[in-house]
């Protein structure tokens, strides 16, 4: 089997490694290595042109023993059942590691949104929401943004879902989706939350390792929500961005790329192509950049056995989900490169989604200091739990993170038992 063959298999290989080390109850391993529900919907959309097109959407609910299913929606041509299963499972581990009362789910539509107008995207989103029906719900399964989805898409989901409820109950359903625009019930700090979390964790790692970030260099793969926010927030600690790659290509400047200027350029031109203060490089060169920190924040399976040996960094802070294959993981551990694993590193997004959900339920608005302060506290607790498990089991951080999650889930299964 090729190392990229099945993403869900890769997740379960990671689970098996942790489960073997901690001695997880085999019955609970059986439960946790399969998703609870898999919803596949094929739905027609009448596009603005009048043409009807069929789409396939997924919602896979991995586990809800710790709370409602929770996880993002992705619009991408590579979305398929295997990928969504893996992403859903990662949400289960993530929420358990940072100890928030949620389970794990993920979903998406298999298509390339770049080929569609804003009006068509709205039609596709609303029709998908309708097709999902009561498979989502504010106390049952709560979607959020992921690749190629954003606050606007969440606003359309909210609006469609509310119109599917009895008028008397609409006001009680705002927490059906998180990552909404702030004016439509979103939380301040949610848009930057995943990137902010990545930076809080890098700063904590640097503190623990007497590593001076003000002289550090880093490079980022993916300059969307997670990558651009992480890059911009790293500026405050003085470290220097030296290369960026997105779907259109990569750029490099050893003297530094200003992440705010690059963000503004992208907003204006729609692509990094032609960015004046850096040189265009190819993917292989990008993956060999010499720097202190690499932040993968694009797709899964980017660090593989073919490039892990030449990755010239001290720390990999995984903003993306599943950027490292299990085979590459072994190479990286062997080489002594530290990884802050995805299930901890990018948990900031779901933590602030949880805050948004709480604010909607309580009809409250929190300010940015409160959101950032609580996010920091939760992530630092997660970091400590993973660090302690790595020491206790004398293992790498990814395996330690899984052990933290599996222990929490195992305990609850043992307490509650299996019905009937
Ligand atoms: P996004 O759509 O905002 O941005 C994705 C970025 O990746 C874009 O810059 C795109 O050009 C780039 N990209 C796509 N294909 C690429 C390729 N082949 N090579 C290089 N770059 C490529 O998505 P996002 O929300 O920032 O999500 C990025 C990753 O972070 C995903 O793995 C997602 O699951 C994960 N994540 C996102 C959140 C969140 O809150 N948005 C939370 C946790 C994890």
**Residues 177-236: tens digit of each pLDDT:** 999 999 999 999 999 999 999 999 999 999 999 999 999 999 999 999 999 999 999 999
| Alpha carbon nearest to ligand 1 atom 18, residue | 247
For ligand 1, pick from 226, 250, 353 the residue to mutate: most ligand atoms within 8 Å of CB. Answer: 226
**Residues 258-301: tens digit of each pLDDT:** 999 999 999 999 989 899 989 999 999 999 999 999 999 999 99
HSE-up (13 A, CA, CB side) for residue 411: 9
Per-residue b or e along 198-211, where b marks 16 or more CB atoms closer than 10 Å to that residue's CB: bbbbbbbbbeeeeb
Q: How far apart are the first and last CA of the chain?
A: 38
Whether 179 and 156 have beta carbons less than 8 Å apart is answered as no
* C-alpha of residue 150 to centroid of ligand 1, in Å: 11
- Ligand 1 environment, Cβ below 6 A: 145-148, 194, 221-227, 245-247, 297-299, 319-321, 346, 349
Structure tokens at 379: 């992530």
The Cα–Cα gap between 69 and 143 comes to 9
**Residues 74-93: tens digit of each pLDDT:** 999 999 999 999 999 999 99
Rounded alpha-carbon distances, angstroms, from residue 151 to 48, 62, 111, 155, 355: 22, 24, 19, 6, 16
Which member of 94, 106, 180, 192 is catalytic? Answer: 106
* C-alpha of residue 51 to centroid of ligand 1, in Å: 30
Active site residue 106: yes
Query: What is the position in ligand 1's atom list of the atom closest to the CA of 349?
Result: 40
Query: What is the position in ligand 1's atom list of the atom closest to the CA of 353?
Result: 40
Whether 25 and 414 have beta carbons less than 8 Å apart is answered as yes
**Hey, how many other C-beta atoms are within 10 angstroms of the C-beta on 156?**
18
* C-alpha of residue 296 to centroid of ligand 1, in Å: 9
* C-alpha Rg value of the chain to the nearest Å: 21
Percent of the chain with pLDDT over 70: 99
The Cα–Cα gap between 321 and 231 comes to 17
**Residues 387-419: tens digit of each pLDDT:** 999 999 999 999 999 999 999 999 999 999 999
pLDDT of residue 2: 64
Query: What is the position in ligand 1's atom list of the atom closest to the CA of 179?
Result: 40
**Residues 112-145: tens digit of each pLDDT:** 999 999 999 999 999 999 999 999 999 999 999 9
**Residues 38-49: tens digit of each pLDDT:** 999 999 999 999
Q: Where does the pLDDT of residue 5 fall: very low under 50, low under 70, confident under 90, or very high at 90 and above?
A: confident
**Residues 309-322: tens digit of each pLDDT:** 999 999 999 999 99
Whether 1 shows a pLDDT value over 60: the answer reads: no
Average pLDDT, integer, range 9-32? 97
Whether 175 and 142 have beta carbons less than 8 Å apart is answered as yes
| Alpha carbon nearest to ligand 1 atom 43, residue | 346
Whether 320 and 300 have beta carbons less than 8 Å apart is answered as yes
Cis peptide preceding 420, ω within 30 of 0: yes
* C-alpha of residue 147 to centroid of ligand 1, in Å: 5
For ligand 1, pick from 246, 270, 295 the residue to mutate: most ligand atoms within 8 Å of CB. Answer: 246
* C-alpha of residue 73 to centroid of ligand 1, in Å: 12
Query: What is the position in ligand 1's atom list of the atom closest to the CA of 321?
Result: 32
Whether 4 shows a pLDDT value over 80: the answer reads: no
Average pLDDT, integer, range 9-17? 96
């Amino acid at each position: 089997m090729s190392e990229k063959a099945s993403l869900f298999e890769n997740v379960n290989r990671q689970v098996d490694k942790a489960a073997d080390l901690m001695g997880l109850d085999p019955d609970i391993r059986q439960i946790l290595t399969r998703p609870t529900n898999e919803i596949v919907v094929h739905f027609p959309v009448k596009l603005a042109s009048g043409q009807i097109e069929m789409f396939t959407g997924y919602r896979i609910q991995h586990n809800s023993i710790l709370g409602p299913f929770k996880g993002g929606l992705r619009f991408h041509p590579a979305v398929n059942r295997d990928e969504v299963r893996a992403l859903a499972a990662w949400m289960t581990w993530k929420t358990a590691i940072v100890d928030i009362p949620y389970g794990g789910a993920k979903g998406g539509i298999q298509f390339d949104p770049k080929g569609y107008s804003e009006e068509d995207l709205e039609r596709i989103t609303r029709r998908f929401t309708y097709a999902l029906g009561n498979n989502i719900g504010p106390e049952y399964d709560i979607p959020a943004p992921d690749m190629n989805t954003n606050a606007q898409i969440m606003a359309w989901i909210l609006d469609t879902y509310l119109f599917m409820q009895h008028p008397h109950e609409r006001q009680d359903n705002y927490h059906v989706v998180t990552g909404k625009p702030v004016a439509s019930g979103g939380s301040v700090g949610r848009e930057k939350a995943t990137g902010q979390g990545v930076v809080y964790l890098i700063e904590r790692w640097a503190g623990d390792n007497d590593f001076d970030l003000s002289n550090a260099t880093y490079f980022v793969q993916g300059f969307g929500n997670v990558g651009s926010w992480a890059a911009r927030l790293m500026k405050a600690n003085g470290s220097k961005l030296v290369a960026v790659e997105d779907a259109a290509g990569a750029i490099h400047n050893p003297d530094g790329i200003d992440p705010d200027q690059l963000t503004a350029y992208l907003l204006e031109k729609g692509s990094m192509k032609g960015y004046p203060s850096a040189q265009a490089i190819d993917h292989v060169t990008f993956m060999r950049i010499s720097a202190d920190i690499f932040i993968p924040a694009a797709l899964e399976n980017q660090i593989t056995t073919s490039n892990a040996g030449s990755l010239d960094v001290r720390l990999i802070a995984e903003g993306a989900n599943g950027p490292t294959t299990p085979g590459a993981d072994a190479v990286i551990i062997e080489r002594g490169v530290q990884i802050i694993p995805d299930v901890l590193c990018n948990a900031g997004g779901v933590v602030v989604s949880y805050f948004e959900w709480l604010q909607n339920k309580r009809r409250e608005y929190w300010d940015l200091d409160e959101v950032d302060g609580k996010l920091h506290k939760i992530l630092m607790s997660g970091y400590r739990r993973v660090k302690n498990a790595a020491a206790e089991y004398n293992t790498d951080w990814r395996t330690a993170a899984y052990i933290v999650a599996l222990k929490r889930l195992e305990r609850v299964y043992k307490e509650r038992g299996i019905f009937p």
